[in-house]
A and B are shown apart, each in its own frame.
Chain A
Amino acid sequence: MLEARGLSKRYGGALALDKVSFQVHRGEIVGYLGPNGSGKSTTVNIVVGLLEPTSGSVTLDGRTLSEDPTGYQNKIGYVPEEPYLYTHLTATEYLTLIARLRRLPRIAVEKTIPELLRLFQLHDSRYSTMAAFSKGMRQRVLLAAALLHNPDLLVLDEPFGGLDVNAGLLFRALLGMLAADGRMILFSTHRFDMVEKLCSRVVILSSGRLVAEHDMAAFETAGTPSLEETFCRVTKQADFRPLAREILDTIQA
């Protein structure tokens, strides 16, 4: 189980995250929703070990990052929001680099990488440097890299950006199967539809604070407000319809 307890993060004087606590159980896909600047990426960076919290802690199966850095990191697969990778390498070289940094056995390099490249439809471009890849192709490389070491926890920060419809459907199915297989998935996104279709629970963040946490089943009960309505209410979002009307009026004029 992934457990975040009282996570706070300050950047200078600004409080980006304020005592956020949540859990992700095995077999669960937890949607992590919030408007821009609400602290989603900060949380994700703390969970994967790229940032240290100002206070609070994250434990994975009862152990913190500082207690067992290697064991902790090897249980996590991470897909960042932007496809930041070394574009002067080929997809094979990049995955091989990661396999070796994670000290995976030779079989992973020789068998798993070509197989993953084939399954992610990158095999034909395996000798091209990733500079020639589209955003969707780079996103697929990152997903392959996140899955390469068969992690227990998958942390996805907006993983569907740039993916075409087929790849999006494939990943949705894949994430469902990974959860069914007992993996934990923390899914940070802006997209309500993806959360509704994929997640078993949703955690909503606003201005660095956790403002709501619901089982997705709760939204299926008749008479309950939808996820979108709940989100707008708890994050105090304004009604966008007057603004949309104004834009329409402007372009029509």
Chain B
Amino acid sequence: MRRTLDERPWYQLTTHFFRELFDFGMLSDAGSDAVRRMLIGVVAVTLTFGLLLTRMYLGKYVALSELFHDWGTGYKLNREPYHLAILGDGALVMAFPMLIVGFVVVLVSSSLFPNEIDCRVLLPLPVSKRVVFESKALAVMVFASLFALAAHVAMIPVVVLMWNSRWADHGLVAQLGAHAVASLGGSIVTALVIMAVAGALLICVPRSRLQAASIAFRGACLCGLVLSIPLVLRLPMSGARIASGSPLFYVVPPIWFLGIEQLLLGKATPYFVRLAQIAAGTAVVSSAVALGSYVFLYHRFERVIFRPRSGSDRVPRERRGGTAAIGPFIRATLTRSPLHQAVFVIIAACGAGLVLNSFVGGWDPGTAIWAPFALMLVMNVALRAALVLPIELRANWIFRVTEDEATRAEELNAVVRTMIFLGVVLPLAMLFPVEWVVLGPRAIHCTSIAFLCGLVLVELQMAEWKRIPFTCSYAPSKQFVGLTLLIGVAAFVVFAAIGSRLVSYSVSHPVGWLAVMAILGAVSLYLRRERLWVARRATLMFEDVLPNEVEPLKLSEF
């Protein structure tokens, strides 16, 4: 008897794995919903960006199609600016889907291959190992294709606008075809490269270090993708450089696929051939490694997936009770939960991008003084945003039944310690070498003032904090989004401005530096004491509350 599609094991398993890619297999229902919303948000942003880009380019391409140039023999139509613009903009519309696909595949990088749970749960069932592996691969392909397709659909209006010009060398259909082949190829290769690295890690790294390696890989990729956004946005201005055959673009993946597109359109210059060769080479290597990883895992999954984990039984040196309990819990969650890690890394990378971008113009001392404050503020916001998101909310009963007045302040203080380490010490340590290069020994003044300003910032931010991270429900949009943004921008400007002024003053007045240090130190100690006083008396918060003040409409006053 013929079985319908949804009765076939491979179809059911593919559907199961596809859905699983949206919840990472370890999040609570609320966490899965948050990830789904985030991924739907990615699609929405993609489509909006496509429309916005079309609107922006409309004027540009109308103007380009009407360009005239005086060549000395009278006015003549000039197609050169159009061709340069097409190269730059073509690179952008190719890079954007690659970025989107890269982002979503990195987010699910821990679920790209069948894992221990899949094998333990599925293999005892009447399902062959082959079906499990094929279904997983198919689900990953469908998942990546879905986002690649959404990104390409978003780019259709702008692509049509670009090539529907009097200066176009080929018909619209031919151009669209060449672009689709090259751009889809670029997106697929992006996914394959991430799969290849994830597969290589899974096979090569000892199991005791696999988690740390995967976390480092995911964090680095997310950070790299966010940092590449400003570079991608500069691509439209790179038309002339691409046309001149700049070797710089041999390391820019979207340009490789631009080379393929140009080849397909018949422009077989040595430069484009070289770019296309790099693209083809990357595609072959990444496909081989990704496929090889699947095949290797398929044949050796007992040894690779079920190999015994090893680790250390050593118990970390115990500090005070609250810190000892909460610190490792925060670390484990931030490093293992893709959602929390993504929130922290993406927002923090925005700050890093902002700082890097301001250094692009040169090693300006003013920027070097401003940068630590900007980075600290953004990383504090990033960390706080990650800490308020819950994980396995219903598991918080253990914190509720062990809440103890004697250790509450210590537990909350452990959160502040994490904030200080990741939001103050880490950005300052990352920036110190740059500061030293730009400011010389004055970097010590700058960093010391920035450190104390960072402590004050953390104390102010955490003054009313009453949650064990990840254990409290989260009610988003408690206040108007515009107001939140306004407060954020105002805080950024005020904090960076005050901090920079304090550093500038301290650098030129050594005694003043000591005075500023003393004042900031005293303020941070005072705020700390106040915070601990509140923490000892407040009860822990496990339910997020909306502002309960009722705002009367005062209609009678109108």
Contacts and interface: CB of A to CB of B under 8 A. Distances in A.
Interface of A: 48-50, 69-70, 73, 76, 78, 80, 82, 84-89, 92-93, 96-98, 100-103, 106, 109-110, 114, 124, 126-129, 131-132, 134, 145
Interface string B385-428: 00000011011011111111111000000000000000000000
Chain B interface size range: 35 or more
A69 B337 contact: no
B321 A103 contact: yes
B336 interface: yes
B402 A88 contact: no
A126 B314 CA distance: 13
Interface of B: 25-26, 115-117, 120, 207-208, 308-311, 313, 315, 318, 321, 324-325, 328-329, 332-333, 336-337, 391-392, 394-395, 397-407
19 contacts: A70-B404, A70-B405, A73-B402, A85-B392, A88-B333, A88-B392, A89-B332, A97-B325, A100-B324, A101-B399, A103-B407, A106-B318, A124-B308, A126-B311, A127-B310, A131-B117, A132-B116, A134-B120, A145-B398
A48 B404 contact: no
A239 B8 CA distance: 41
Contact of A132 (B120, B399, B403, B406): B120
Nearest 7 A-B pairs (CB), nearest first? A100-B325, A127-B309, A101-B402, A127-B311, A131-B26, A84-B394, A84-B395
B332 A110 contact: no
Would you call the interface of chain B mostly helix, strand, loop, or mixed?
helix
B25 A131 contact: yes
B321 A87 contact: no
B395 A85 contact: yes
B332 A101 contact: no
B337 A88 contact: yes
Nearest to A93: B332
Contacts of B336: 88, 129
A88 B308 contact: no
Contacts of B311: 126-127
A50 B26 contact: no
A48 to B, nearest CB: 6
Contacts of B321: 100-101, 103
A110 B391 contact: no
A87 B26 contact: yes
Nearest to B26: A131
Contacts of B117: 131-132
B397 A101 contact: no
A87 B401 CA distance: 19
A76 B26 contact: no
Nearest to B403: A69
B325 A101 contact: yes
B400 A50 contact: yes
Given A73-B403, A134-B120, 12 more contacts: A73-B401, A84-B392, A85-B398, A97-B329, A98-B398, A101-B321, A102-B402, A127-B207, A127-B309, A128-B309, A129-B336, A131-B25
Nearest to A106: B318
A109 B324 CA distance: 12
Contacts of B399: 101
A109 B394 contact: no
A50 B325 CA distance: 20
A109 B318 contact: yes
A110 B401 contact: no
B324 A48 contact: no
A128 B401 contact: no
A80 B397 contact: yes
Contacts of B394: 82, 84
Nearest to B115: A132
Nearest to A83: B395
A87 B337 CA distance: 10
A209 B324 CA distance: 43
B119 to A, nearest CB: 10
Nearest to A101: B402
Nearest to A103: B321
A100 to B, nearest CB: 4
Contacts of B407: 101, 103
A73 B402 CA distance: 7
Given A101-B325, A110-B315, A132-B117, A49 B337 contact: no
Which one of A86, A126, A131 has the highest number of Cβ atoms from chain B below 10 Å of its Cβ? A86
B397 A84 contact: yes
Which one of B399, B400, B402 has the highest number of Cβ atoms from chain A below 10 Å of its Cβ? B402
Contacts of B404: 69-70, 73, 101, 103
Contacts of A70: 404-406
Contacts of A69: 403-405
Nearest to B392: A86
A153 to B, nearest CB: 12
Nearest to B116: A132
A84 B336 CA distance: 18
B328 A49 contact: no
